[in-house]
Chains A and B, each alone.
Chain A
Amino acid sequence: MTTRIPKRQRSSASRVIDGAAVVIQTKLSDVALLNEVGTLVWGSIDGARSEADLVALVTESFEVTPDQAARDVGAFLDELAAASLVEFAT
């Protein structure tokens, strides 16, 4: 799973306000407000970084074990994909 490379959907839009990302799926009019970790991950999705890169970023930035970071980032990316906010290349 960690070889996945997430890319933001073109129909997504977002803005970081006061350190928290507001993310919108414009086709579905769905809105999410991300927490600090989610904001870091969302802001780092650039179509080049892999899931493993994002896990490393979270591990470096927060007090969390690599295993826990991998589980959390994986679940978060799955949620973003289910909400049509990201798609994956491998």
Chain B
Amino acid sequence: MSAEGFFVDLQDRLIARHVPLHAQFEVTERCNYACTHCYLPHDGHGELTLDESKALLDALADAGSLFLTLTGGEVFLRRDFPEIAEHAKARDFVLRIFTNGWFVDDRRADWLAALEPVGVEISLYGADAKTFETVTQVPGSFDRTTGAIQRLTSRGVRVRAKTPVMNVNARQLPALHDFAMSLGVEEFSWDPLVAPMDGGESAPLALRPSTDDLAFVFAWDRERRGPSAAPVAKPLDAAPCNAGRGAVSISPRGDIFPCVAIKIPAGNIREKSFAEIWERGDVLQTMRNITISSLRECATCDDRPWCPRCAGMARHEEGSLTAPNLEACRVAAARRAVAEGRPVSDEPIVRPGTRRLRVIS
């Protein structure tokens, strides 16, 4: 068996036993960008201290977490972020760091290169300053972010550039891909879903791409990658995702969530140990009992193999962790139509049993 195949097998076995293999720690909610689509409020309600952060990382390591993402907010707004990252490295995590790049000058680029994270991820919303700064709302941010990417890639740091597909950048995606690759990134990835803010505030939804935009990006991607076999749906007894099973998210204040998109606290590490919360937290038990067959309409939906459904978005928009998410329905229908060479329909998506029926455009 190849190393990759071996590890998938090993990973599946560990996740089935609820080892929190993948952890994401939001070290701060503070951010110097004001991205129009961002799901995270930046008002801030306190942060774990450095000692508390280190103790959290120790507890995660003891629980079996191996893959750790440090994210924000903007991580470098914490002055002690390097100490948190160094501690994570000392505890032998496969470390990934999300940053907007603003603070990555030569000194920090040298430090990141020496740290040897498995990767640094930086959002790149546009191939030009006008598009990029329409999203970030910070003049000069395009130069700062692209400069950071170049500083890191020139030092051998593996950088992934990424963006959500929005109505402001959907038609630019091919040019954005080429621009990102020209900066030396290892990979450029994009996500067709734009989520509401934590708490359900819907301002980011105005940025969702139109159905025509989705058809455009899926057609571009299909042409770029070439023909491929149709995706295969997971079996009905499989978990829809790893949230709460093999994945965990921790807020800046120490709240434990199943996932960064499902902000239902299972407990707080200032009140209980991580091990106790991970074993007994109510929402974690709930997530572990959800299978594809629990998803009612989704379980029998023909578009399921193409669907990027997110339980967190379903909770925000449809009020239930197990409801269909109509935005995911729209994306799945567009992706499938393009894959099958059919025109993409802009008809309303109507599924029996959903709380809201509407046209999304």
Chain A positions within 8 Å of B, measured between CB atoms, are: 10-15, 17, 22, 24, 26-27, 29-33
Contact = CB atoms under 8 A, between A and B. Distances in A.
B94 A26 contact: yes
Interface residues of B, number: 20
B10 A22 contact: yes
Interface string B38-78: 00000000000000000000000100111000000000000
Interface stretch (B1-9, B101-109, B120-128, B218-226): B1-9
Nearest to A28: B3
A33 B3 CA distance: 10
Nearest to B67: A13
A22 B11 CA distance: 10
Contacts, number: 41
Contacts of B114: 10
Given A24-B94, A31-B10, A17 B116 contact: no
Given A29-B3, A33-B10, A15 B65 contact: yes
A15 B10 contact: no
- Secondary structure at the A interface, as helix, strand, loop or mixed, is strand
Contacts of B115: 10
Nearest to A23: B92
B4 A13 contact: no
A15 B92 contact: yes
B61 A31 contact: no
A26 B66 contact: no
Contacts of A27: 116
B92 A13 contact: yes
B116 A24 contact: no
14 contacts: A13-B66, A13-B92, A13-B95, A13-B118, A15-B61, A15-B65, A15-B92, A17-B14, A24-B66, A27-B116, A29-B3, A31-B3, A31-B4, A31-B6
A15 B64 contact: yes
Contacts of A26: 94, 116, 118
Nearest to B8: A31
Nearest to A32: B3
Contacts of B89: 10
A29 B4 contact: yes
Nearest to B115: A10
Contacts of A32: 3
B98 interface: no
Contacts of A15: 61, 64-66, 92
B93 interface: yes
B94 A13 contact: yes
B19 interface: yes
B93 A13 contact: yes
Contacts of A22: 10, 66
B116 A11 contact: yes
Most buried by A among B65, B93, B94, B118: B94
A42 to B, nearest CB: 10
Contacts of A10: 89, 114-116
A50 B48 CA distance: 39
